[in-house]
């Protein structure tokens, strides 16, 4: 049993935040939009409050021009919610591997004064869940001086590293709001499905999957219905995984670490996904410095890392975070899994993308300035293979389908 919760108003709870504080904001579907709206109302008493986070979802309010100088956004991934502010110079971006971010908190490079999180209602023992965004939130709440929690009955109760006791919270606010939703499957077109089939042909039964964000990883999942005994160890998952689990395509029986469990750091999708992982012991949400550690990733056999990109060049270099000088996303965990898959026995790091954008702009270009590394990349009409040794690209073989690029 635990003592009765003493709820506070958002105004009272947020009063702990002072000028010059660094504030962590939980992200993805767990973005505490109610707390951020309420924090914006206190702008008159604040100055130079730094807000750090990775992907946030929805209208976070404090990114608007009128709050410049009051709230300083210092994000470690550029999501749609803050993309305009970053590219207009009103917010900053820290390029960092997702797996390295917890160490920034734990080793004092980015000490956290206050953490804002959105959690599930407590169980009979007083434990709440961080829901579908454990990722870097676990380390943030472990190191923050103060924790302000919004208890939301719409937050699913997930297993793994997500549990936190109400005694840890400095203040608790109640806020019943729907979680942000994204339906990647609805955006999958013919080109993405074609790519998904190419990638599926490269995946052996018994492989362990990592899926990045976007329509192409979801298209790959749609093409795996005839596979057997697949496992999942991924930084994120979406709705595409559900039918494969229900039909025993994904059962995690061949994994060497966390067998019989789907391992992820966070989940982004529709309400169907959030309900599916709610109190589901087959899913474990773990701290991202473990999930994305290449030395952990490599321990499973046949790790298939499926990610997309903005551009690739003819030497095999990959750009996944910017369009020219416009910062579009961030480093995230792509490099963590590219390396982990390359080191896995029978593993394959795969970059998959359409050969042109929706506006007809070529995505396969002569050269680019930024680099990732992979063993395979798949485009709309063909499949190319190369092998990575250390940090260099060595073209080993090239195969194409019956059609070729324009």
pLDDT score of 404: 30
b vs e for 363-384, b when ≥16 Cβ sit within 10 Å of the residue's Cβ? Answer: bbeeebebebbbbbbbbbbbbb
Provide the domain count of the chain.
Answer: 2
pLDDT score of 190: 87
Q: Which domain holds residue 120?
A: 10-174
Query: In the chain, which residues have pLDDT < 70?
Result: 1-2, 369-406
Same domain, 162 and 194: no
CB 92 within 8 A of CB 75: yes
* CATH number of the domain bearing residue 75: 3.40.1080.10
Please state the pTM of the whole predicted model.
Answer: 0.89
Q: For residues 39 and 268, what is the distance between their CA atoms, to the nearest angstrom? A: 25
* CATH number of the domain bearing residue 356: 3.30.750.70
320: number of CA atoms within 13 Å, CB side?
29
| Structure tokens belonging to residue 114 | 């206050």
End of a domain among 146, 174, 202? 174
Catalytic residues: 235
pLDDT score of 399: 33
End of a domain among 174, 203, 228? 174
Neighbours of 400 (CB within 10 A): 12
Q: How far apart are the two ends of the chain, measured CA to CA in Å?
A: 67
pLDDT score of 353: 86
Q: For residues 268 and 293, what is the distance between their CA atoms, to the nearest angstrom? A: 21
Same domain, 127 and 153: yes
pLDDT score of 2: 63
| Torsion of the alpha carbons at 322, 323, 324 and 326, rounded to the nearest 10 | -70
Query: Dihedral sign, CA of 258, 184, 186, 284?
Result: positive
Q: For residues 201 and 234, what is the distance between their CA atoms, to the nearest angstrom? A: 20
């Amino acid at each position: 049993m635990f003592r009765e919760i003493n709820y506070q108003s958002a105004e009272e709870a947020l009063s702990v935040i002072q000028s010059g504080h660094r504030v962590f904001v939980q992200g993805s579907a767990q973005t505490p939009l109610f707390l951020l709206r309420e924090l914006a109302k206190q702008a008159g008493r604040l100055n130079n409050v730094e807000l750090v986070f990775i992907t946030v979802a929805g209208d976070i309010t404090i990114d608007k021009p009128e709050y410049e100088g009051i709230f300083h956004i210092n994000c470690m991934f550029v999501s749609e919610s803050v993309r305009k502010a970053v590219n207009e110079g009103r917010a900053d971006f820290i390029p960092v591997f997702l797996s390295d971010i917890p160490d920034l908190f734990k080793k004092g490079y980015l000490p956290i004064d206050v953490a804002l999180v959105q959690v599930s209602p407590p169980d009979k023992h007083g434990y709440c869940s961080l829901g579908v965004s454990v990722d870097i939130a676990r380390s943030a709440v472990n190191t923050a001086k103060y924790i302000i929690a919004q208890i939301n009955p719409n937050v699913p109760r997930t297993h793994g590293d997500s549990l936190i006791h109400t005694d840890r919270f400095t203040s608790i606010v109640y806020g019943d709001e729907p979680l942000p939703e994204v339906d990647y499957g609805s955006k999958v077109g013919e080109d993405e499905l074609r790519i998904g089939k190419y990638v599926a042909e490269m995946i052996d039964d018994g492989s362990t999957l990592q899926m990045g964000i976007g329509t192409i990883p979801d298209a790959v999942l749609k093409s795996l219905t005839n596979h057997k005994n697949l496992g999942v160890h991924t930084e994120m998952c979406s709705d595409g995984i559900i039918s494969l689990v229900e039909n025993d395509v994904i059962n995690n029986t061949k994994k060497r670490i966390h067998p019989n469990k789907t391992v992820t750091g966070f989940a982004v999708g529709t309400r169907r996904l959030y309900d599916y992982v709610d109190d589901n012991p087959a899913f474990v949400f773990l701290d991202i410095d473990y999930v994305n550690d290449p030395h952990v990733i490599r321990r499973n056999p046949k790790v298939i890392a499926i990610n997309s990109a903005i551009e690739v060049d003819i030497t095999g270099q990959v750009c996944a975070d910017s369009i020219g000088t416009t910062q579009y996303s961030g480093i995230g965990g792509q490099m963590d899994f590219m390396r982990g898959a390359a080191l896995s026995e029978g593993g394959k790091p795969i970059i998959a993308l359409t050969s042109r954008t929706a506006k007809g702009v070529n995505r396969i270009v002569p050269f680019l300035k930024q680099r990732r590394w992979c063993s395979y990349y798949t485009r709309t009409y063909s499949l190319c293979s190369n092998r990575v040794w250390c940090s260099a690209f060595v073209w080993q073989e090239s195969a194409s389908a019956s059609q070729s690029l324009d």
